[in-house]
Amino acid sequence: MTLQRTSAEAALAADYAARRPVLFGATKMRDDAMARFLEAGLPNRRVEEWHYTDLRARMNEAAPLRSADAAAIGAARERLTSLELGEAIVVVMLDGEFNLGLSSIGARPQGVEIGSLATALLDPANADLIAPPGLGEADSIVSLNAAFVQGGAFIRIPANMRVERPIALVNLLSGGPRHAAYTRSFIELGVGASATVWEISENSGGETQANDALVIKLGDLAECDHIAQVHHRGEKSIAVHTLLATMGRSARFDSFALVKDTGFVRRQMFARLEREESHIGLRGLSLLRGEEHADTTLVIDHAAGHCESREFYRTILDGSATGVFQGKVCVRQGAQKTDGGMKSQALMLSDDATMYNKPELEIFADDVVCGHGATVGQLDDNQIFYLQSRGLSRAEAQSMLLQAFAQEALDHIADETLRERFASEAHAWLSMRSKA
């Protein structure tokens, strides 16, 4: 049964029709994507992959797009200073558009291309690059992003180049009136190339609607460490972040995400291991309180044999927060010798908090080693009592146990500087809770 179109869906359809004549490049890709979105509509509880994150019910109205003004650019410059990005190669998107003036790309190695996706899409040959065929196409929010994409970064790293400095990909939404942003960035690592990508996505509070996508293409023998931090403040904020990754032979992709201080967020990752002996690791830590809602959804497609995947996520929930973990690993026929392991663990600090775990395996090969597990629990009173008997207060004992629980996830961050930075953020969050 087809659902009647909501006011938000009707507004999106009308807005696309009005904007279509002036949208840059990739018109056919956009039209096809919008057709897919309009056929499916905003995802709701009837869509299995979105059952616990009903965006249709949440998104009552479609916020308008807008370009950053001088005040927003000034505020963004101050925010970038406070982020202390160090020696990173900084690539900035503000309110959905690539901003060269706020970026610091002069330190990039010779041969590394960094520019605007809007410019790249003027070349029809690039349309397929930023929309990997068959990857995430069934998801209507991915289609909506492709239709409305305002801009983003276009980054190419040549073969055998090792980029020593992290590439900081910063997506900022300014404050002020309710507005939306649709950003899509593309990063390609050539054969044998390696880089660390540090993705930051945040708003300045308020009623913002973010729909971001990052496409990463790894050539044979390429290696990428991806570290993300998501902070979308505001009770009425909505943020959907999509990662689309394709991997060549013997490629390695390791990703970690820290989600905290957020309103209503979904992080979804679609990855395809296209050739033999590649490795993917997806990990993360979510720190949730109040009415916050954070959804992590993974779809890993083992399309070739002798590949390895690891997923490890931990969630701490307080107040009336809601956490969601959905992980699906598909092993295709012929993808023999696949080695897969998935685990989600959550700690509930309040009787009002909610956690949904849904790990899945679809295996069509007969020579594989795959497993998954999910746990939800509370702090162990015996452990708390033991620490109290050694002179700690109950709050201090709880904080120590929570810090240890979080640190096991943070240990998966390869970059030592970023690992310490994220550990400090987690400690501050936990310390604030213990003082409450």
* Structure confidence by residue, pLDDT tens digits, 238-275: 999 999 999 999 999 999 999 998 899 999 999 999 99
Closest alpha carbon to 149 in 121, 112, 125: 121
CA 2 to chain centroid, in Å, comes to 30
Question: Residue 274 and residue 340: Cα distance in Å, rounded?
Answer: 15
How many whole angstroms separate alpha carbon 94 and alpha carbon 172?
5
Whether the per-residue pLDDT at 2 is higher than 60: the answer is no
Nearest-CA neighbor of 286 among 241, 224, 245? Answer: 241
| Residue 127 reports pLDDT greater than 80 | no
Does residue 74 surpass a pLDDT of 60?
A: yes
- What does the block give as tokens for 24? 């840059």
pTM: 0.95
pLDDT at site 189? 98
Residues 6+ apart with CB under 8 A from 170: 80, 83, 85, 90, 91, 92, 93, 199, 200
What are the pLDDT digits (tens) for 294-329? Answer: 999 999 999 999 999 999 999 999 999 999 999 999
- Residue 40, pLDDT > 70, answer yes
Q: Tell me what percent of the residues of the chain surpass a pLDDT of 70.
A: 97
pLDDT attached to residue 128: 67
Q: Which residue has the tokens 């960094």?
A: 114
Are 323 and 315 in contact by the 8 Å Cβ rule? The answer is: yes
Neighbours of 110 (CB within 10 A): 6
Question: What percentage of the chain reaches a pLDDT higher than 90?
Answer: 81
Task: Find the angle CA(316)-CA(320)-CA(323) to the nearest 5 degrees.
Answer: 45
CB 282 within 8 A of CB 247: no
Instruction: Check residue 108 and give its pLDDT.
Output: 93
pLDDT band at 15; cut points 50, 70, 90: very high
Assess whether pLDDT exceeds 80 at residue 25: no
Task: Evaluate if residue 332 carries a pLDDT over 90.
Answer: yes
| Domain spans, the chain | 7-275, 379-436
Tokens of 66: 């807008």
Across the range 398-403, mean pLDDT stands at 90
- pLDDT tier at 423, thresholds 50, 70, 90: very high
Q: What is the pLDDT of residue 250?
A: 98
Pairing of strands 97-98, 89-94: antiparallel
